Amino acid sequence: MSPTQPGQTLNLAAIQQTCSSDKAVSLATTERLVREAAAGGANLVVLQELHATLYFCQTEDTQVFELAEPIPGPTSQRLSELARELGIVLVGSIFERRMNGVYHNTAVVFDSDGTLAGLYRKMHIPDDPGFYEKFYFTPGDAQFNDGRSGFTPIETSVGKLGVLVCWDQWYPEAARLMALAGAEILIYPTAIGWDVTDDPDEQARQLDAWVTVQRGHAVANNLPVVAPNRVGTEPDPSGHSEGIRFWGNSFICGPQGEFLARADDSSESILSVTLDRSRSESVRRIWPYLRDRRIDAYGDILKRVRD
């Protein structure tokens, strides 16, 4: 992976947890699980989307904006101190208040000395029944002030992390742009689940689609994928639905889509794996997708639809 990181392996952990309406309780759970992961040898720990709160996007409520925090702020400071104390790279998630009226769903990455290595503001924002995210989140910037693309890996002491968030995981363009920019791992903090009234066959189809598309990004880009999701049933505050049952099934897969670890659909879990840093290079030598891309023929991909 990164030439600055010695050795051919990386100890990685992804955390699957339940969340509480009390931010202090959720963060205490996060901290407990992060400490356990670090004690097990993890150098990189990845948390799920919006792990400090319930998934509040089931309804549209202006009072929810009170949960948002600036960066730096209380939650980012706590994560920073935890990363520094444990000597780990930590990927967390914050409902960010950037300024009055501009809020983001933001992944934050802290290096092993506690410094903010970088952040990623969710680019694709859904607006579906039970997932009213457009009400709360402004999409991330397509380009930073210094000219970098919004799909830019974050450089850390354990390598270049291609951090994306949840709905981004359905878009091959996002994964490919991260890979082309040098990402060594694709990371998708997630909050996804079932409408509790869905029948079992529909639930199975949705879960299989979620897993399959992300394994496809691993295969198409010859990169490991880390996808931590939350668990537990969270009620709809409006009472208009029966809430969401978050389906867990967090997983880590290798650069050919092979499962390295996978959680169940109901338990808090720490998925721990040792990644072979040389695998992506080895796979790219025999499956050279990036070499054989016909970039001269892809111009229409920049159109909304082809006429």
202: annotated active-site residue: no
One of 122, 133, 184, 253 is an active-site residue; which one?
A: 122
- Tokens 């270049």 identify what position? 160
Distance linking the first and last C-alpha atoms of the chain: 42
DSSP the chain: --TTS-SSEEEEEEEE----SSHHHHHHHHHHHHHHHHHTT-SEEEPPTTTTS--GGGS--GGGGGG-B-SSSHHHHHHHHHHHHHT-EEEEEEEEEEETTEEEEEEEEE-TTS-EEEEEE-----EETTEEGGGT-PPPPSB-TTS-BSS-PEEETTEEEEE--GGGGG-HHHHHHHHHTT-SEEE-----EEETTS-HHHHHHHHHHHHHHHHHHHHHHT--EEE---EEEE--TTSSS--EEEE---EEE-TTS-EEEE--SSS-EEEEEEEETTHHHHHHHHS-TTTT--GGG-GGGGSSS--
One of 23, 49, 133, 253 is an active-site residue; which one?
A: 49
Cβ pair 140, 163 in contact under 8 A = no
166: annotated active-site residue: yes
Q: Is the peptide bond before 235 cis (omega within 30 degrees of 0)?
A: no
CA-based nearest residue to 123, from 105, 100, 147: 105
Cβ pair 183, 223 in contact under 8 A = yes
One of 19, 23, 133, 166 is an active-site residue; which one?
A: 166
189 residue type, one letter:
P
Catalytic residue numbers, as ranges:
49, 122, 166
